[in-house]
Amino acid sequence: MSEWMVTLEKSWLWLGGSLLLATLWTNLAWFFRHPRPGPIGEFIAHLTTLRLAPLTLQGLRLLYYVGFPFAALLWGHDVVIGRLIGLQQLNLPVAGDNLAGVDVAANWLDWAQDLGWAAALGIAACGLLALGWYAYRRALIASGSTDGEGSKIAGANISGWVLLREAAYHEFHWAFYRSVPIFAAGMYWGTWIGLLLVVLEAMLNPAWRKRLADPYKAPAQLLRGALAVVSSALFLLTQNLWVAIVLHWGISWALNVVARMLPLLTGHIADQASIR
């Protein structure tokens, strides 16, 4: 068996382990979402009430979303390649080294081009998603399923720092899921196969499916799906993970602003608000 095939098999083992871990975690969390009888259920319920539980959860999420890809990169014996994840370098100028200066100029030009693509995609995505939110809002109002509390839309009041954290988590995770198919099938098809793996992971999550059926939680799920598509398109153009994180953060922040500017108000409540 060739060295390429051995590396490819190891790569799929790392990727399969990530998918299996996510599936087990989300389904166990769903199973224990309500207190369960027995010692295990009591132990889980006790853990969720601890003061450090939220911090511990974020630590585990950091290890999974960022730590797992870096573990594969550092200890996986070439199962993950930094270039295929999108870890682009930003070269700094060196005084007195003309040859290095040429490389730096070329590197900065590449970054400028990547940022240009990100800006173009970001503006287009924000426009389309804002129109989608406007249409979704009108449909909910027309159906009479709103009660005038715009804050009930999940994620509408998340802070910018949390949005940045989630952008970094998900972009690292998606880049990892792309890297192995790209190694096996090439840049174009590998990128879209990676997106299909992300969709598969989401569909295996019962909480994700439940939120997608909730009209007040579905927008956040749909936005995440749209961001995965935009991230894939940007990666095909730039292969730059850092720019993808910035784009993800910018679109999330812009759509949160739109959701707050256009809350869900029924016609009756809107009339009362205008009178006041």
If you write DSSP's letter for every residue of 200-230 in order, what string do you get? Answer: HHHHT-HHHHHHHTSTTTHHHHHHHHHHHHH
Side chain identity, residue 177: Y
pLDDT of residue 228: 97
pLDDT of residue 136: 87
Report DSSP state, residue 152: G
Q: In the predicted model, what is the mean pLDDT of the chain?
A: 82
Helix boundaries (H) for the chain: 3-31, 39-49, 53-62, 68-75, 82-85, 98-143, 160-185, 187-203, 206-212, 218-238, 241-261, 267-275
pLDDT of residue 269: 37
pLDDT of residue 43: 64
* Residue boundaries of the structural domains of the chain: 3-275
The whole-model pTM stands at 0.86
* Integer Rg of the chain from CA: 22
Rounded Cα distance between 121 and 231, Å, is 9
Which tens digits make up the pLDDT trace of 107-142? 889 999 999 999 999 999 999 999 998 888 888 877
Provide the pLDDT confidence category of residue 106 given band limits of 50, 70 and 90: confident
Provide the pLDDT confidence category of residue 272 given band limits of 50, 70 and 90: very low
